[in-house]
Structure formats: structure tokens, C-alpha cells
């Protein structure tokens, strides 16, 4: 979001620099009623995340303890980069603070630093433990790490201690701190400083599971003073690739890499987004908001889900348009994408509203509008129960405002036809619709900007749209999430059934079906010649509902060997040199969070050296002789868990899909026991083996499109090809 980062020393000055035009000036978090429901934990469902600021504890009085247990992941924002110059001349406080911290500590350019030591790790804001004792421990500093930290870091540390399942991320950059990214990414030396610093963060603050890089934006289009280059996308790829390698080398490969990315296709292309995924990026926090603002005069939604009327207009944006582009055009795995919703509005004044569905109109930039703190922006806790109310009866406008619903864009807004004031907002209904969409598209998550603004309306709606069961109700969301507004200027309303259809509400939305057992896949039988390290892989195992799996390998036959990593997807053992052929059988059991399990086995044949047979040089069929014994795949037909044959191979559906089965299609598992050569389109998990150019290669980690060769850091050459 284009919201300035505000630091303690300058916060009051910033707030006073622009007098509020709202009747509700200087709103406080405590002014709003807390309506958080409690929902049952369910790791099988799409998770909910939110960005947490380090400045909301000041004027707004945000108390982080109010959101304890409400989110699956919190992204702490923002960290800065030493050497930052001013990107946005209107927002300089963060850059000034970073420069002071870096100079005081003699940090080199491109080092990642806290931006506000007071709220970050020194103070007692928001219930932070604040137990730093400067007399005994000296001045608080970054290098001291998380153990003695107070401030928000202390609170987050303790929250994670209470709930180890809570994921924490630290976000670097943001709108006002993105100036140095292009310069940093442009050379190996500067990238190394940044990467070494990131590793130090994970070392000193192991509470963090993920780094979030918020570069706004590669290739330009961010703040006017930002550095940028035509090579930003290529350099970004190198940054991610080198960061991933550094995490592996540091012994912390489980740490995740995420980025915040602009939603328009042009920004995704400039970021080289597909290459980032291919080189180690785990998640994209897709900023499906800020589509409209004071920088334009054409009326638009700022966080709409869809839109057919203007989809061919390159300037028109929607979440669905961007996600379709990422999945269907770029081939990005859906589970790598997280869709965003907004806990704030984008406002316009002197509005000429010509049409509601689709939204058509204009406004006069710079005209007086509602605001909470930042010009043209109102925050949810501020306008709820002032301009609009959400209660058990549904939703209703206040103070002359009415709720309108653009059924083409699946988006809501507030409009006062007397004052011609307009607020583009997410509502609980539209957040529910986004959550239902995330579930339907098998996305990796839904997140918000930002948790500091939502007293419970939107996080409740997100949980309900994803199918979480409520266990303690503060606010019944049943009618709220189906509260569509007027769909035209004549104040026509939708029927309840039409509103539910638009929102994605079905009879089983909050009553998921019975839990399905996972599917174990221990991989194809192997032939080796000892002495050699043999890598097993259960990475092709999956859960039909996308749940996380636990792995348990045991040896059930053959002379005993020592299995390393028996509780991992990819264990290994050393097959000794033998005088006669010997076989080892291993059993893999995968278990879902509810305790359902499934088992598969693999046989490893260790051939005697005198046989002269390494398993290479043979010819292997690339079709399955049993394929004709199962039904043929039918184009356009819906599959859920069925087994089909297509192009001479047998596949089993993982989940609901209409996709054509291929070895690279994520919604299908190849069940044929065949040897297929490497292909650029293929997806390979850590431990997978494949033939290419006469050699046998083993993937070190997930990869797609990276050709196996001697210079590849993804592939390990393990001998001759099995097939020719």
C-alpha cells in the first residue's frame, strides 16, 4: 500500500502536517468495538496472514495483544536498507531514521536494519514486555537478538512461544524505503551484503520463518526518486537465487522467501516473476489493492476481485485478471500466490457517479475527502460504525452513505449522493468472496494490509469464506457476508440468492466434507551399484485437500542399512558394495494433521559389481502397457480423485480440475511406473531423479525449467542415464 511509514520521533509532526478533513480526526484503535470471533485451527485450509506495522502503536494506539491467535502469519513491517536515499520527497522520515541507525552503528550500505528501535525492541507499546534493562545489559541493539528484546519484537517472540504454529515474517522495503533495491540487486558484491544481512537476521531472530521483500517496483513505477533499471528483473532473479543458496548453505533451508508484488501484468513482468519462482521464491503476496487513488481522476475500485466489462482495457486491474495471468499464462503454481484484501479505503470527492455496475464516473483530485490520517484514506476501525455499520442484521450505510455493489467487478463502495463523497472499500462480503475465490483456485493464502486497521470484521469474513468453523462467536457473520448493496443508481437490490452466488456462498461453505486420506508415493523402484549413497523421495506424496503431511520411513526387508532422515520426505542411506545382488525394501507412511495415513513401498536393488551393470545404457518405454485398462481422459470433464489414461500414461487427479493430464500438470499425479527424460515443463522435487544427455541427475530441491548440466546448482550428476 502507498502508506508512509511513520516513526516515533516524527509521528506527531507528520500527523499535524495535514489537517484532517474528516469529522473523525485522530481516531484511536480503542474507539472501535472488538468483534473478533475465534475459529477452529485447521491446517488443511488456506491460511490467513496480515501485515503488522511498527508505527500503529503511536497515534492510533494499536494493541497487538488484541489480535493474538487470530492470524496464521504476521508480516512485521518495515525494515530498511542502509544507503537508502529519498524515494518519495513527501515521505522522508523513514529514510532519515535508517540513515541515523546505519551511521551510528557503522553498517555498510545494503545492510537490513530496524527502522524504529523504540517500537521495534525497546518500548512497552501494545503490551510489549519491555524488559530490556539498559543498566545491566547495555544499550538495546540489533545484535543482541530476540532473547531480551522488548517492544513489538518481544511481543511477537512471546506470541510464537505460546503458539509455535504462528508464522512470522519480517518485511524489507515498502513504498518509502524501496529506493536502493535496484542499486543493491545490480552487483554480486551489494547482493552479498544484503543476503549476509538476511542470514544474520534469521540467526539473531530465529522467531522469524520468512523474509518478505517489498520492492516497489522493479523496472520503475514506484516513488519518483527510486533507483531502477531495465535489468531489474534479471537482477532480482539473481538475488532470489543467491539468497536461496545462502539459506541452504547456512543450514536453514526451511526459511521461506516471499515478495510483495504489484498486481498489474506489467509489474509482474518487470519483476521477472516466473523466474523468481523457478529460482527459489516461495510466495508472492500479490498486492491486489491500490488500483485507484488520488493520482488519477477516473473513478475505479481499489481492490476489486473481478471485472468483465473492462477486462480488455490494459489500465483496468482486478485480482482475478492478475491471478489468471500468473497461473494460466506464466504457469506459476497456484499455491505460491497469496491474494490481498484491504482494511482501508481509497476516497474521492466531487464525484460524478454515472454507473454502479460497471462502475463508471469521475472525480476531482485534491478535493476534500474523508480521511483517518493519510490523505484520501480511511481506516476500517475508524469508518466502521461511523459511515457504515455491520451487525447481525447485515450491513447499512450511515450519515447519508449507502453501500453499493458493482456486480461486474464483485466489489463494494460507499457513496453519499448529497455530498458526492466516495469510498472504495473491501467489506466483509467482498473479503468473503476473495476467500472463497482463494479456496476455489487453490491459492497459497489470503492476506491483508494491515492488521492494525481491522477490529475483527474482515478477519472473521476471511475465515468464514475459507471454511473455518467458529468456536466462539462475538459477531454472527451469517447476514453480514451476504449484505450486497444497491447495484445501480436507482437503488435496485439483489435477491438473497443472487447475492450469495456473487459472493461464493454455498450451503457447504462452512461445513467442509469428510477428511480425505493422503496418498503416499515412495517413488519408483531403483537399481544401484554400491558403494553409493541412495536418496529416497516421498515428495510426490500429496493430500487431496492440500494439507501438510508428516513422513515416516522404515526398512522392512533386506540386510539392515542406516536410514538418515527417516522423518523427512527425502531420506538417504549408503548401499554397500556387495558380492551378489541384494534388495532392500522401504515403507513410507504419510499422515495428515487429522491422523489419516497411507503407505507405499519402494525396492532398491543393489547389484553386484562383477555384473558390470550400473543400470545405465538400457532403453526404456515412455508409455504404460497398462494404460488401456483405465478410462481415457475426456476434455472438459470435471475430475476429483479419478484415475485416467492419456497419451499412453496413467494419471490420478489430486483435486477438482478440468486440466489436461501431463507430467507437469500440478492437479494430476503420474502413476505410471515409467522413465521419462527431463523436460523444461516438468516439475521436480528434491530427491527426484531424471535422465538427460546421457547422465542420471538428482534434484536437490524443487525446480522447474532449470536444465541439468555440470554448471547447475539445482542438479547433482549421479551417474549414467538409466535409459537411452
Closest by Cα among 288, 273, 346 to 322: 288
Q: What is the dihedral of CA 141, 144, 145, 149, to 10 degrees?
A: -70
Neighbouring CB atoms inside 10 A of 496's CB total: 12
Tell whether the torsion through CA atoms of 439, 44, 284 and 143 is positive or negative: positive
**Cis, peptide link before residue 502, omega less than 30° from 0:** no
Closest by Cα among 373, 379, 342 to 462: 342
The answer to whether residues 68 and 160 touch, using CB atoms and an 8 Å cutoff, is no
3-class DSSP state of 625: coil
- Give CA 384 to chain center in angstroms: 28
Residue-by-residue DSSP string for 32-74: SPP---EE---TTSPPEEEEEESSTTSTT---GGGGTTT-SEE
Helix, strand, coil share (%) of the chain residues, nearest 5: 25, 25, 50
The answer to whether residues 588 and 539 touch, using CB atoms and an 8 Å cutoff, is no
Cα distances from 83 to residues 109, 124, 235, 520, in angstroms, run 5, 29, 18, 50
- As a residue count, the chain comes to 724
User: What are the residues facing 639 on neighbouring strands?
Assistant: 657
Helices in 441-504 by DSSP H: which ranges? 457-466, 496-503
Q: What is the dihedral of CA 543, 545, 549, 554, to 10 degrees?
A: -30
Query: CA angle, 6 as apex, 23 and 94 as ends, to 5°?
Result: 150
CB-count burial class (<10 Å; 0-12, 13-18, 19+) for 224: exposed
Closest by Cα among 657, 681, 670 to 624: 670
The answer to whether residues 289 and 302 touch, using CB atoms and an 8 Å cutoff, is yes
Residue-by-residue DSSP string for 307-340: -STTTT-TT---HHHHHHIIIIIS---GGGEEEE
The C-alpha cell that represents 96 in the structure block: 532519515
The C-alpha cell that represents 354 in the structure block: 454515472
Neighbouring CB atoms inside 10 A of 389's CB total: 13
Q: At what angle do helices 428-440 and 457-466 cross, to 10 degrees?
A: 30
Catalytic (active-site) positions: 216
- Give the separation between CA 6 and CA 54, rounded to whole angstroms: 8
Q: Locate cell 527424460: which residue?
A: 677
What residues contact 6, with CB distance under 8 A and at least 6 apart? 14, 15, 55, 58, 93, 94
- Helix (H) / strand (E) element for 421: namely strand 421-425
The 3-class secondary structure across 536-565, one letter per residue, is CCCCCCECCCCCCCEEEEEEEECCCCCCEC
Closest by Cα among 548, 340, 506 to 438: 340
- Give the separation between CA 90 and CA 319, rounded to whole angstroms: 29
Amino acid at each position: 500500500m502507498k502508506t508512509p511509514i511513520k516513526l516515533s520521533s516524527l509521528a506527531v509532526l507528520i500527523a499535524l502536517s495535514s489537517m484532517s478533513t474528516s469529522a473523525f480526526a485522530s481516531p484511536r484503535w480503542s474507539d472501535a468495538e472488538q468483534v473478533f470471533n475465534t475459529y477452529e485451527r485447521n491446517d488443511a485450509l488456506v491460511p490467513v496472514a496480515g501485515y503488522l506495522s511498527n508505527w500503529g502503536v503511536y497515534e492510533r494506539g494499536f494493541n497487538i495483544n488484541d489480535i493474538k491467535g487470530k492470524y496464521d502469519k504476521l508480516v512485521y513491517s518495515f525494515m530498511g536498507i542502509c544507503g537508502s536515499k529519498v524515494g518519495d520527497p513527501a515521505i522522508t522520515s523513514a529514510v532519515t531514521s535508517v540513515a541515523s541507525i546505519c551511521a551510528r552503528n557503522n553498517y555498510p550500505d545494503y545492510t537490513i536494519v530496524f527502522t524504529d528501535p523504540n517500537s521495534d525492541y525497546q518500548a512497552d507499546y501494545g503490551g510489549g514486555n519491555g524488559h530490556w534493562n539498559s543498566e545491566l545489559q547495555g544499550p538495546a541493539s540489533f545484535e543482541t537478538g530476540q532473547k531480551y528484546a522488548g517492544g513489538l519484537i518481544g511481543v511477537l517472540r512471546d506470541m510464537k512461544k505460546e503458539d509455535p504454529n504462528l508464522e512470522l515474517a519480517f518485511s524489507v522495503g515498502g513504498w518509502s524505503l524501496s529506493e536502493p533495491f535496484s542499486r543493491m540487486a545490480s552487483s554480486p558484491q551489494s547482493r552479498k551484503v544484503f543476503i549476509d544481512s538476511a542470514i544474520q537476521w534469521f540467526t539473531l531472530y530465529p522467531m522469524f520463518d520468512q523474509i518478505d521483500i517489498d520492492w516497489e517496483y522493479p523496472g520503475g513505477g514506484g516513488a519518483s526518486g527510486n533507483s531502477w533499471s531495465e535489468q531489474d528483473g534479471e537482477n532480482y532473479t539473481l538475488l532470489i537465487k543467491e539468497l536461496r543458496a545462502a539459506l541452504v548453505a547456512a543450514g536453514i533451508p526451511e526459511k521461506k522467501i516471499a515478495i510483495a508484488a504489484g498486481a498489474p501484468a506489467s509489474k509482474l513482468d518487470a519483476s521477472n516473476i516466473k523466474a523468481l519462482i523457478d529460482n527459489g521464491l516461495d510466495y508472492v503476496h500479490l498486492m491486489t489493492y491500490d488500483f485507484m487513488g488520488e493520482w488519477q481522476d477516473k473513478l475505479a475500485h481499489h481492490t476489486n476481485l473481478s471485472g468483465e466489462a473492462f477486462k480488455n482495457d490494459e489500465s483496468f486491474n482486478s485480482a482475478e485478471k492478475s491471478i489468471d495471468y500468473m497461473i494460466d499464462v506464466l504457469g506459476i503454481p497456484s499455491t505460491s500466490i497469496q491474494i490481498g484484501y484491504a482494511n482501508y479505503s481509497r476516497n474521492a470527492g466531487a464525484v460524478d457517479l454515472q454507473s454502479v455496475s460497471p462502475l463508471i464516473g469521475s472525480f476531482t483530485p485534491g478535493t476534500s475527502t474523508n480521511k483517518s490520517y493519510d490523505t484520501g484514506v480511511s481506516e476500517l476501525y475508524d469508518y466502521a460504525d461511523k459511515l457504515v455499520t455491520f451487525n447481525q442484521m447485515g450491513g447499512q450505510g450511515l450519515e447519508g452513505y449507502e453501500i453499493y455493489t458493482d456486480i461486474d467487478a464483485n466489489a463494494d463502495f460507499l457513496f453519499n449522493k448529497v455530498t458526492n463523497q466516495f469510498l472504495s472499500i473491501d467489506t466483509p462480503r467482498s473479503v468473503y468472496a476473495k476467500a472463497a475465490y482463494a479456496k476455489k483456485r487453490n491459492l497459497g493464502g489470503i492476506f491483508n494490509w494491515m492488521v492494525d486497521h481491522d477490529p475483527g470484521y474482515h478477519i472473521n469474513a476471511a475465515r468464514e469464506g475459507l471454511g473455518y468453523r467458529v468456536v466462539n462467536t462475538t459477531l454472527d457473520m451469517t447476514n453480514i457476508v451476504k449484505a450486497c448493496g444497491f447495484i445501480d443508481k436507482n437503488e435496485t437490490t439483489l435477491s438473497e440468492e443472487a447475492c450469495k452466488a456473487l459472493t461464493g456462498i454455498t450451503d457447504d461453505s462452512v461445513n467442509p466434507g469428510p477428511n480425505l486420506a493422503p496418498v503416499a508415493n515412495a517413488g519408483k523402484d531403483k537399481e544401484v551399484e554400491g558403494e553409493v549413497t541412495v536418496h529416497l523421495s516421498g515428495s510426490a506424496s500429496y493430500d487431496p485437500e492440500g494439507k501438510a503431511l508428516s513422513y515416516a520411513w522404515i526398512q522392512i526387508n533386506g540386510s539392515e542399512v542406516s536410514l538418515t532422515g527417516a522423518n523427512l520426505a527425502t531420506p538417504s542411506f549408503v548401499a554397500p558394495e556387495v558380492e551378489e545382488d541384494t534388495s532392500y525394501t522401504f515403507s513410507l507412511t504419510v499422515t495428515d494433521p487429522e491422523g489419516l495415513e497411507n503407505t507405499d513401498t519402494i525396492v532398491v536393488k543393489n547389484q553386484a559389481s562383477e555384473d558390470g551393470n550400473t543400470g545405465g545404457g538400457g532403453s526404456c518405454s515412455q508409455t504404460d502397457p497398462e494404460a488401456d485398462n483405465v478410462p481415457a481422459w475426456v476434455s472438459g470433464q470435471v475430475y476429483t480423485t479419478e484415475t485416467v489414461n492419456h497419451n499412453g500414461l496413467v494419471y490420478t487427479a489430486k483435486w477438482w480440475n478440468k486440466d489436461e493430464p501431463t507430467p507437469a500438470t500440478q492437479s494430476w499425479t503420474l502413476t505410471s511406473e515409467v522413465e521419462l527424460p527431463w523436460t523444461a515443463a516438468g516439475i521436480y522435487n528434491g530427491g527426484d531423479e531424471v535422465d538427460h544427455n546421457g547422465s542420471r541427475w538428482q534434484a536437490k530441491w524443487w525446480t522447474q525449467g532449470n536444465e541439468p548440466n555440470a554448471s547447475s546448482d539445482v542438479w547433482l550428476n549421479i551417474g549414467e542415464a538409466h535409459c537411452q
